[in-house]
Structure 1
Amino acid sequence: MNAADDPLTPDALAHRLSEVFDVVGPLYRRVQRAVEQGEAVEGLSVGVRAVLDLLHRNGPMTVPQMGRAQSLSRQFVQRMVNDAAARGLVESIPNPAHQRSSLIRLTADGSAAITAVLTRERALLRQVGGDLTEADLTACLRVLGEMLAVFDDVDVN
């Protein structure tokens, strides 16, 4: 094991992780702009897209579950669900586990809309170069997951 493989001191780690934030922030904003530009094609806002993607990946969920999963306020998620429902992209169904908190699920139109978005986004992502490996991406996800875990206790509601 060489020095590059040794765990960093807390101070060195904090410095390097701030560099990650320096990249993640602009990346997030650029991706958000790309999604907004795609809104003209699919007609989805970034917030509605996030709701549809979450339901596509996880199946039916409650609004509070979606808020927790995305670190967004329940009120914001509810507005996005309302927007999606008004367009026929999602629908409420009874929740056997909780009578007062309905499950939200994709409709056929919602499933088609998020599939179109994901197809377009993956076409863009195929353009990423750098000869990245599975190990590179595993390390990236591990780092971002550890960073995200630090903020798990921050209440957004």
Structure 2
Amino acid sequence: MSEDNGSQAPGDPGDRFVEIFDLVGPLYRRAQRKVEQDAPLEGLSVGVRAVLNMLREDGPLTVPQMGRAQALSRQFVQRMTNDAAGLGLVEFLPNPAHKKSSLIALTEDGRAAINAVIDRERTTLREAGADLTDTDITACIRVLSCLLHSLDDIDVN
């Protein structure tokens, strides 16, 4: 890991972005492991959690919509959706816009499960980031959002 560059002259933005990506990968994998460690509480895998959270945030969606939103293959999202349906956490609804692509919606059990996971994650993350200011967090969100949007054209299917 590189040292704090806060008091030094700014480096090449490309190099700094590489530093961010070098942190995001391990952060993502550690967060995945944490979710998986806690999964027995709700019976959720990381993939099912992602599907439930998208539905929690955006309401009913189709599998292709979820895949595009998360840059995941449609096949992976379909498997996670099927797993969630098997647990009674989502239901398939008719889609007036497309007969072959059902809308996926949270069930009451699904909403309760994802809310419990999110509440537990908030507590853990609040403690982990206790030394960060709102300005720090806002800057982080801005940088990560910019990087994410700059890669929007990547095809996952």
TM-score (norm 1): 0.90
Instruction: Measure, in 2, the Cα distance between the counterparts of 1:111 and 1:49.
Output: 11
Deviation at 1:41, TM superposition (A): 1.5
Could you say what secondary structure the match of 1:126 adopts?
A: helix
1:83 corresponds to which residue?
Answer: 83
1:110-125 pair list within 5 angstroms = 110-125=110-125
Q: Against the structure 1 CA distance between its residues 69 and 27, is the aligned structure 2 distance closer, same or farther, given a 3 Å change threshold?
A: same
Instruction: Measure, in 2, the Cα distance between the counterparts of 1:101 and 1:92.
Output: 9
2:3 corresponds to which residue?
Answer: none
Q: Percent identity?
A: 64
Deviation at 1:130, TM superposition (A): 5.3
Deviation at 1:128, TM superposition (A): 2.2
1:18 corresponds to which residue?
Answer: 18
Q: Against the structure 1 CA distance between its residues 13 and 44, is the aligned structure 2 distance closer, same or farther, given a 3 Å change threshold?
A: same
1:51 corresponds to which residue?
Answer: 51
1:25-36 pair list within 5 angstroms = 25-36=25-36
Structure 2 residue 40 is the aligned partner of structure 1 residue 40: yes
Deviation at 1:67, TM superposition (A): 0.3
Instruction: Measure, in 1, the Cα distance between the counterparts of 2:64 and 2:30.
Output: 28
Instruction: Measure, in 1, the Cα distance between the counterparts of 2:130 and 2:97.
Output: 47
Instruction: Measure, in 1, the Cα distance between the counterparts of 2:50 and 2:129.
Output: 26
For 1:57-107, what per-residue CA distance to the aligned partner results, in whole angstroms no more than 9, with x for missing partners?
110000000001111000000000001001110001011222221100000
Structure 2 residue 56 is the aligned partner of structure 1 residue 66: no
Instruction: Measure, in 2, the Cα distance between the counterparts of 1:17 and 1:124.
Output: 26
For 1:23-43, what per-residue CA distance to the aligned partner results, in whole angstroms no more than 9, with x for missing partners?
111111110000000112211
Instruction: Measure, in 1, the Cα distance between the counterparts of 2:130 and 2:92.
Output: 43
Q: Quote the RMSD (CA, aligned, Å).
A: 1.5
Query: Structure 2, unaligned stretches of length 5 or more?
Result: 1-5
Kindly tell me the number of residue pairs found equivalent between the two proteins: 149
Query: Structure 1, unaligned stretches of length 5 or more?
Result: none
Q: Against the structure 1 CA distance between its residues 51 and 24, is the aligned structure 2 distance closer, same or farther, given a 3 Å change threshold?
A: same
